[in-house]
């Protein structure tokens, strides 16, 4: 009798899943060792990498930058694949390409002098460096508190304390900005930087972003760059080694049955199925099933959060997502529910022909809003625009402009129709640019778009959000728990079941690189290596 090959099923054809598949398939000692497949619920590969087209330009709906090229495996693949150069323009926001075109305007159209913007911007930058452990300077704020005292403290409250300390010192009043006093401007500039931070971290409210964990996050050194041939070229390069048929699209998993421990029922199944027994059974949306020895789950933390809420076993709903049977053990489910998973969306807007700034490129615009409660706020600006920090062309002379949204505003954006978005954005940007270049005819300052395109990461059932963060109440330990395979290591238990039935990869399982494509990459490698090691096919790890 021929021994069966171990069957490995990877759920999700995003960065983590395809990296794991690539590794399992290419490890020299593993040729023909496994029966391998990748099941993807969507109709495309890439997951949160979604390179698209808009207004004739190549754009990224999801992952955008390589966050630091020094030591990044993504950068290495991009170089090997010649993905960093292109004849056609792309969403290129590298380094200091906006150095000389950045302007800061306060609501009402008041362009702010750098001397007013910079001091408070420096305060923000120093406070963030402090959070991220880049600065050992203890004078910034509350340096006298020991590390332990920062449990349960949020980045948001730390920042506001720092701003309060800065306001404590007396500064000269500024003139010429209408109803804007220096304090209101500085508060607005600070809030603008906070809003950018919300899009970086996906924490809709910085008061829910854990302070203590912030310094554990590791950033690669070097430039942050975008990928000229599109982020998808990295995904395609990883997938290109897999034989046809390994990646199966349109295969949404709805139920994962596994065997936490041996019991009589379980012994019976093994007996009946003989050598062919496999401990994991996957159910798909079309009613089909698949048996596996090992499953690597790479679905987003948002999908896992929904799964543990589905775990009451109610599987009748049509589009009820995915659930585990039996439910995930408490240590795992609790980590899933404690960690944060927020919504970040990108909005692309194409300038109408007649509002394109002919000789001059559209600037990199930083926006300072009145607080939502302010009496003097412009009532035409919708609430979902009030925490948008910036508006800028995707490359210097592109007619496509981009803004990032986070939290409630990002979610609201998904529910609006294009006309509502066109109205709301035009009203907002026209207010900001009303006095800009006022030597020109006034009608040129009306900003009009002909079309818009937005990402929808929050409501897409295959994602249910954008990326993970360490929420107040969780910690880096929870990210490590996310990575633990099931059943939990049970070498010393008499009733141990089959090992490594469910393995977890994906950005939310990496303690120091979570929320990124390279974090997802490393996690896929980690789980592939875990299986290779289990089958004594160690080879070259990495």
Ligand X SMILES: Cc1cc2nc3c(=O)[nH]c(=O)nc-3n(C[C@H](O)[C@H](O)[C@H](O)COP(=O)(O)OP(=O)(O)OC[C@H]3O[C@@H](n4cnc5c(N)ncnc54)[C@H](O)[C@@H]3O)c2cc1C
| Interacting residue ranges for ligand X, rule: CB under 6 A | 11-17, 39-42, 47-49, 62-65, 67, 252-253, 298-300, 303, 322, 344, 346, 455, 457, 462-463, 466-467, 506-507, 515-517, 520
Q: Which does 376 bind (CB under 5 to 8 A by kind): ligand X, ligand NAG, none?
A: ligand NAG
Shortest distance, CB of residue 257 to ligand X, whole angstroms? 14
Residues sharing a CB contact under 8 Å with residue 466, sequence separation 6 or more, in sequence order = 48, 62, 202, 341, 342, 343, 344, 345, 410, 457, 458
Q: Which does 42 bind (CB under 5 to 8 A by kind): ligand X, ligand NAG, none?
A: ligand X
Shortest distance, CB of residue 423 to ligand NAG, whole angstroms? 4
Between residues 158 and 514, which has the closer beta carbon with respect to ligand X?
A: 514
Between residues 138 and 374, which has the closer beta carbon with respect to ligand NAG?
A: 374
Between residues 367 and 453, which has the closer beta carbon with respect to ligand NAG?
A: 453
Burial of 336 (0-12, 13-18, 19+ CB in 10 A): buried
Between residues 105 and 413, which has the closer beta carbon with respect to ligand X?
A: 413
Q: Which does 298 bind (CB under 5 to 8 A by kind): ligand X, ligand NAG, none?
A: ligand X
Residues 310, 312, 317: CA angle, nearest 5 degrees: 50
DSSP H or E segment with residue 129: helix 114-131
Shortest distance, CB of residue 416 to ligand NAG, whole angstroms? 9
- Residue 139 token pair: 């004078």
Between residues 291 and 456, which has the closer beta carbon with respect to ligand NAG?
A: 456
Task: Assess contact for 333 and 308: CB atoms under 8 A.
Answer: yes
| Cis check: omega of the bond before 326, within 30 degrees of 0 | yes
Q: How do beta strands 344-351 and 400-406 pair?
A: antiparallel
Shortest distance, CB of residue 515 to ligand NAG, whole angstroms? 17
Shortest distance, CB of residue 98 to ligand X, whole angstroms? 17
As a whole number of angstroms, the distance between CA 179 and CA 406 comes to 28
Task: List interacting residues with ligand NAG (CB under 6 A).
Answer: 50, 52, 61, 80-81, 96-97, 99-100, 151-152, 178-179, 233, 236-237, 240, 375-376, 397-399, 419-420, 423, 455-457, 460
Beta strand residue intervals within 421-491, DSSP E: 449-454, 467-469
Between residues 184 and 412, which has the closer beta carbon with respect to ligand X?
A: 412
Task: Assess contact for 347 and 393: CB atoms under 8 A.
Answer: no
Q: Which does 253 bind (CB under 5 to 8 A by kind): ligand NAG, ligand X, none?
A: ligand X
Between residues 322 and 503, which has the closer beta carbon with respect to ligand X?
A: 322
Between residues 288 and 417, which has the closer beta carbon with respect to ligand NAG?
A: 417
Contacts 24+ apart (CB under 8 A), 272-277: 275/1, 275/3, 275/4, 276/4
- Residue 475 token pair: 């910690």
Q: Which residues pair with 366 in a beta bridge?
A: 104, 390
As a whole number of angstroms, the distance between CA 47 and CA 234 comes to 12
Shortest distance, CB of residue 12 to ligand X, whole angstroms? 3
3-state SS assignment for residue 208: helix
| Cis check: omega of the bond before 351, within 30 degrees of 0 | no
Q: Which residues pair with 296 in a beta bridge?
A: 10, 503
Residues sharing a CB contact under 8 Å with residue 443, sequence separation 6 or more, in sequence order = none
> Which residue has tokens 């990459």?
521
Between residues 255 and 278, which has the closer beta carbon with respect to ligand X?
A: 255
Q: Which does 90 bind (CB under 5 to 8 A by kind): ligand X, ligand NAG, none?
A: none
Between residues 292 and 422, which has the closer beta carbon with respect to ligand NAG?
A: 422
Q: Which does 375 bind (CB under 5 to 8 A by kind): ligand NAG, ligand X, none?
A: ligand NAG
- Residue 514 token pair: 């979570």
Residues sharing a CB contact under 8 Å with residue 219, sequence separation 6 or more, in sequence order = 67, 68, 132
Between residues 26 and 52, which has the closer beta carbon with respect to ligand NAG?
A: 52
Q: Which does 349 bind (CB under 5 to 8 A by kind): ligand NAG, ligand X, none?
A: none
Between residues 117 and 347, which has the closer beta carbon with respect to ligand X?
A: 347
Q: Which does 452 bind (CB under 5 to 8 A by kind): ligand NAG, ligand X, none?
A: none
As a whole number of angstroms, the distance between CA 376 and CA 380 comes to 12
Shortest distance, CB of residue 533 to ligand X, whole angstroms? 21
Q: Distance of CA 532 to CAs 8, 275, 503, 521, 536, Å?
A: 11, 21, 13, 17, 6
Q: Which does 445 bind (CB under 5 to 8 A by kind): ligand X, ligand NAG, none?
A: none
Task: Assess contact for 345 and 455: CB atoms under 8 A.
Answer: yes
Q: Which does 208 bind (CB under 5 to 8 A by kind): ligand X, ligand NAG, none?
A: none
Shortest distance, CB of residue 455 to ligand NAG, whole angstroms? 4
Burial of 516 (0-12, 13-18, 19+ CB in 10 A): buried
Nearest to 290 by CA among 4, 13, 23, 36: 36
As a whole number of angstroms, the distance between CA 361 and CA 396 comes to 6
Between residues 348 and 432, which has the closer beta carbon with respect to ligand X?
A: 348
Shortest distance, CB of residue 326 to ligand NAG, whole angstroms? 30
Shortest distance, CB of residue 417 to ligand NAG, whole angstroms? 7
As a whole number of angstroms, the distance between CA 131 and CA 123 comes to 12
Shortest distance, CB of residue 290 to ligand NAG, whole angstroms? 25
Shortest distance, CB of residue 376 to ligand NAG, whole angstroms? 4
Q: Which does 50 bind (CB under 5 to 8 A by kind): ligand X, ligand NAG, none?
A: ligand NAG
As a whole number of angstroms, the distance between CA 448 and CA 510 comes to 43
Shortest distance, CB of residue 387 to ligand NAG, whole angstroms? 20
Q: Which does 52 bind (CB under 5 to 8 A by kind): ligand NAG, ligand X, none?
A: ligand NAG
Q: Which does 397 bind (CB under 5 to 8 A by kind): ligand NAG, ligand X, none?
A: ligand NAG
């Amino acid at each position: 009798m021929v021994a069966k090959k171990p069957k490995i099923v990877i759920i999700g054809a995003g960065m983590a899943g395809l990296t794991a598949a690539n590794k399992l398939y290419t490890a020299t000692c593993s040729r023909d060792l496994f029966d391998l497949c990748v099941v993807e619920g969507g109709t495309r590969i890439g997951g949160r990498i979604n390179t698209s087209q808009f207004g004739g330009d190549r754009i990224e709906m999801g992952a955008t930058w390589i966050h630091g090229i020094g030591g990044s495996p993504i950068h290495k693949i991009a170089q090997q694949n010649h993905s960093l150069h292109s004849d056609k323009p792309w969403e290129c926001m590298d380094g200091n390409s906006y150095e000389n075109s950045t302007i800061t305007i306060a609501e009402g159209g008041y362009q702010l002098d750098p001397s007013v913007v910079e001091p408070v911007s420096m305060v923000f930058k120093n406070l963030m460096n402090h959070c991220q452990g880049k600065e050992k300077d203890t004078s910034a704020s509350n340096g006298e508190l020991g590390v332990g005292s920062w449990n349960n403290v949020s980045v948001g409250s730390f920042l506001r304390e720092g701003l309060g300390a800065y306001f404590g010192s007396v500064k000269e009043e500024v003139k010429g900005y209408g109803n804007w006093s220096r304090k209101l401007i500085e508060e607005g500039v600070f809030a603008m930087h906070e809003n950018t931070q919300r899009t970086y971290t996906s924490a809709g409210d910085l008061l829910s972003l854990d302070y203590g964990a912030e310094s554990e996050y590791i950033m690669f050194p070097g430039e942050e760059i975008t990928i000229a041939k599109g982020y998808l070229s990295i995904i395609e390069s990883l997938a290109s080694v897999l034989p046809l048929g390994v990646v199966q699209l349109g295969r949404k998993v709805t139920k994962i049955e596994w065997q936490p421990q041996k019991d009589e029922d379980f012994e019976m199944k093994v007996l009946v199925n003989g050598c062919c027994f496999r401990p994991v059974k996957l159910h798909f949306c079309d009613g089909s099933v698949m048996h596996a020895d090992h499953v690597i789950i790479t679905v987003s933390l948002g999908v896992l959060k929904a799964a543990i809420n589905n775990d009451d076993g109610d599987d009748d709903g049509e589009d009820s997502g995915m659930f585990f049977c039996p439910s995930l053990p408490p240590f795992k489910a609790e980590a899933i529910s404690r960690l944060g998973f927020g919504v970040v969306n990108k909005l692309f807007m194409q300038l109408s022909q007649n509002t394109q700034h002919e000789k001059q490129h559209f600037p990199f615009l930083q926006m300072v809003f009145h607080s939502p409660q302010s009496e003097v706020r412009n009532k035409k600006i919708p609430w979902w625009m009030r925490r948008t920090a910036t508006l800028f062309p995707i490359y210097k002379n592109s007619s496509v402009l981009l803004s990032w949204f986070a939290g409630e505003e990002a979610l609201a954006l998904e529910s609006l129709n294009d006309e509502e978005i066109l109205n709301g954005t035009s009203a907002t940007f026209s207010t900001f640019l009303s006095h800009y270049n006022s030597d020109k005819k006034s009608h040129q300052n009306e900003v009009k778009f002909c079309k818009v395109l937005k990402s929808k990461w929050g409501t897409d059932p295959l994602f249910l959000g954008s990326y993970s963060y360490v929420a107040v109440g969780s910690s880096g330990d929870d990210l490590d728990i996310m990575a633990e395979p099931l059943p939990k290591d049970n070498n010393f238990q008499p009733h141990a079941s089959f090992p490594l039935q469910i393995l977890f990869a994906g950005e939310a399982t990496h303690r120091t690189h979570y929320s990124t494509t390279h974090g997802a990459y490393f996690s896929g490698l980690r789980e592939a290596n875990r299986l290779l090691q289990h089958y004594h096919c160690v080879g070259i790890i990495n």
